[in-house]
Amino acid sequence: MYKFLAFLLFALVTITDGIICVSNLVPDQIRLAFAGDNGVSVGWHTYACPFSSKNPNPNPTVIYGLSPKALYSTSINANSSAYDTRNILKTSWFYSVELPNLYPSTVYYYQILSSSYVSTSAILSFISAPAVGDQSRTVNIATYADMGVDGLVEDIITGKHLFERALGALQKILSSVDFFLHHGDICYADDLVSGVFKTYEEAFDYCQTMMTNITSSRFYMTTVGNHEINCTNAPILNDLCSSDHKNQIPYSNRFHMPSKQSGGYLNSWYSFNYGFVHVISLSCESDFPNAPSGNLIDTITQVNWLKNDLTAVNRVVTPWVIVQCHRPWKGSIPLDDIIEGGFINCPSCQAAFEKILVEYNVDIYLTGHVHWYERICLNGTINTTNYVNPNGPVYLTNGVIGNPEAPNQVLASLRCWILLMPYLLSTGIRTWPY
Ligand SMILES: *[C@@H]1O[C@H](CO)[C@@H](O)[C@H](O)[C@H]1NC(C)=O
Ligand SMILES: *[C@@H]1O[C@H](CO)[C@@H](O)[C@H](O)[C@H]1NC(C)=O
Ligand SMILES: *[C@@H]1O[C@H](CO)[C@@H](O)[C@H](O)[C@H]1NC(C)=O
Ligand SMILES: *[C@@H]1O[C@H](CO)[C@@H](O)[C@H](O)[C@H]1NC(C)=O
Ligand SMILES: *[C@@H]1O[C@H](CO)[C@@H](O)[C@H](O)[C@H]1NC(C)=O
């Protein structure tokens, strides 16, 4: 009897799902990331059927191969996850799978398979990373921080659609880009203005859907910014933020960085190789003494991991070492304007990381958080515009690509720096000598 009832209920739910899901659900927000030296991670998102929180794709699978007509390999390590998105009409599900053992520098085609109400994706493609140590060609990396969706008020203040214009500019250079580094503040879901006209989830979903052309064909490697942490940037929004919006939960569900392969933690700290470049991604938000956003684990694990990761780098194989982190600690702001929890320089980040980066001769330290572009020459004592095998980190602050808070004003010129104040032009493209 109970069994029969259970069966009836199950059938009812399934039928209800089926009726409400008359139009096919689609996999969207498709994202590529490196997953170890020979692996790629494919992530995506699908809404569940309305009024249902049931996973619409319990067996997420990507098929792939060397030709669109020969997708004979099947992904491994599938993961489905969801968090409380506070919308019973649209429960979001997030997926990730891995494509292992890829040949280097090879074009791969891939497709997300269908399931019950979810249709297949288009057949998409990417070029796998060169073999580690390959120095036979240039590596082109697109880097920035602080890009995210506008709200109506910002449209009025700063001009229309900074985010869409930035995307247009990125789309134009896409064919020459190998991979992206986005140093935090990824979509501005957690921001007053996007919140007024879009909820947290709407802002994130819109942003990531709009980015699919870019993120489904190029590796998109992120680090955590203050807007990805605890949903506290707009106090007025706090009641819209569920407990599932805290502790990096949306960021952890929506992105899949190679921390497993590099001994790191979540999407917070990890590293990867691309040809002759070793890239390290750090959290400038948490997990070091006096970190501006608190801690996920403790104050020593990340710092020890950084030292171990740098110790293991073979500079003959990967002579270039690049670090990305959200917050800068050098800049043209007068020293008495340094603010820890605000939007200026980050002394606690400096205390935790600078000595290590100098000791291990890291080449570039990439940050955002401040909404302008500024390049500080080496450690502040050497002034050059020619960075030929620089002896010590070059500090780059690059947070002006386009976001609802608009560019910051530069305040002072104290030392050796090279600075440009590039409001996005109508073409949306600015380039700088490097
Ligand atoms: C993505 O690419 C398709 C096909 O080229 C194009 O039609 C579409 O407008 C693009 N979407 C965005 C958001 O750029
Ligand atoms: C976020 O907020 C919680 C408390 O609400 C706190 O415990 C945690 O340290 C904060 N930071 C991070 C990175 O989660
Ligand atoms: C799947 O992803 C979620 C969200 O990132 C994570 O919490 C969970 O640990 C993952 N599961 C496995 C088996 O990796
Ligand atoms: C800056 O770098 C130069 C060259 O490596 C070095 O001699 C100098 O001691 C460094 N200064 C500081 C303050 O780190
Ligand atoms: C560093 O070089 C730039 C560009 O040549 C120059 O404008 C600036 O004055 C120099 N700064 C110092 C401190 O020498």
pLDDT at res. 136: 93
Mutation test residue for ligand 2: of 226, 228, 229, 230, the one with most atoms within 8 Å of CB: 230
The token duo for 419 is 């600075």
The ligand minimizing its distance to the Cα of 377 is 5
Assigned CATH for 2-127 = 2.60.40.380
Closest Cα to atom 12 of ligand 5: 416
pLDDT at res. 149: 86
119 lines ligand 3 (CB under 6 A): no
The token duo for 35 is 């997953």
pLDDT at res. 234: 64
- Domain spans in the chain, listed from the N-terminal domain onward: 2-127, 141-420
pLDDT at res. 153: 57
299 lines ligand 4 (CB under 6 A): no
pLDDT at res. 342: 52
pLDDT at res. 389: 63
Closest Cα to atom 4 of ligand 3: 253
pLDDT at res. 383: 47
81 lines ligand 3 (CB under 6 A): yes
The ligand minimizing its distance to the Cα of 208 is 1
Mutation test residue for ligand 4: of 330, 381, 416, the one with most atoms within 8 Å of CB: 381
- Span 141-420 CATH architecture: 4-Layer Sandwich (3.60)
pLDDT at res. 28: 97
pLDDT at res. 283: 98
The ligand minimizing its distance to the Cα of 416 is 5
Predicted TM-score (pTM) of this structure: 0.87
416 lines ligand 5 (CB under 6 A): yes
Mean pLDDT, each 10-residue run in order, the chain (434 residues) = 39 48 83 98 94 91 98 98 87 97 98 91 98 94 90 58 85 95 93 72 92 98 94 65 88 98 98 97 97 95 98 95 92 57 76 94 90 67 56 82 72 44 36 36
